[in-house]
Amino acid sequence: MFVPCGRPGGSADTRFEGFTLLLPAVSVGNVGQLAIDLVISTLDMTKVGYFYTDCLVPMVGNNPYATAEENSTELSINAEVYSLPSKKLVVLQIRSPFIKNKYRPFCETLLSWVKGSRCARVVVLSSSHAYQRDDEQLLGTPLRYLLTPDLEKAAGGLMQELNWKEMEKVAAYPGISDTDKVLHIPGGGITKLLFTESCSKGIQMAVLLKFCSEGDNIPDAFVLVNYLNEWLQLVKSEVNSSSQWKIPSSWRLLFGNGLPPALF
């Protein structure tokens, strides 16, 4: 459930009518989470609350978007909500993995909040194992999208104009029958469940994903966030597409650098 920050007028932030909700799937390479970091940091979004749930591994750390010593000691937890009213954008950042068998309860709680807060649409940033692509998925771009039927009516034409490639369905029984095809997103975490539940509940949802492998996934995050920006136009596009995004201070710790003294 959403819990607003303890500040005067905080309760007014519990509704995001007409907003686009952006969130990551905890998926291979953490690409969605890294892309969300870039959005929050670049747009200087304000933290407006937390998403309280027992479905994620508990964690606490210092401010991942610190810009000065004064705000570096602010605490952050496993699921937080950021808002930018000027762009009608609300972001849920997830920072820890899911507890076993907790995918479905989390999806139910999340989608209930989406309906209660009257978000206009949901965009999930995700990733999938590159090595599990079928022959058709090996061709062309490593980026794919999915739209629920309710969002297809509103945005399907734009995706065609952008020349985006829809996520293919694959054979349910490879080598035995190619006629029965299913949506398969290996390494995608909650992506498939969240998408199918949104289809059945009439929620406008888009999934944007990238095929990738585990490793240094920062380049994948830039590719995915630029893909998102083609559609939502969050920042002005530049020739050097990585320079338009502000890298958060927490990324200095991604590959084993020492902990910041302010944490202690």
Q: Kindly report the number of other CB atoms within 10 A of residue 70's CB atom.
A: 9
User: Residue 30 carries which DSSP code?
Assistant: G
Q: Do the Cβ atoms of 37 and 93 come closer than 8 Å?
A: yes
At 128 the pLDDT is 97
* Mean local confidence (pLDDT), 251-261: 67
- The CATH class given to the 15-42+101-235 domain equals alpha beta
Q: Do the Cβ atoms of 90 and 4 come closer than 8 Å?
A: no
Written as one letter, the residue type at 247 is I
C-alpha to C-alpha distances, 253 to 28, 65, 198, 259, nearest whole angstrom: 19, 12, 35, 7
- pLDDT tens for 220-250 read 999 999 999 999 999 987 655 667 899 998 8
- pLDDT tens for 147-191 read 999 999 888 889 999 999 999 988 777 667 667 788 999 999 999
* Mean local confidence (pLDDT), 85-93: 96
Q: How confident is the model at residue 74 (pLDDT cuts 50, 70, 90)?
A: confident
Q: Is the pLDDT of residue 143 over 70?
A: yes
What is the reported pTM? 0.90
- Which one is predicted more confidently, 47 or 1? 47
127: tokens are 């990733």
- pLDDT tens for 182-228 read 899 999 999 999 999 999 999 999 999 999 999 999 999 999 999 99
At 42 the pLDDT is 95
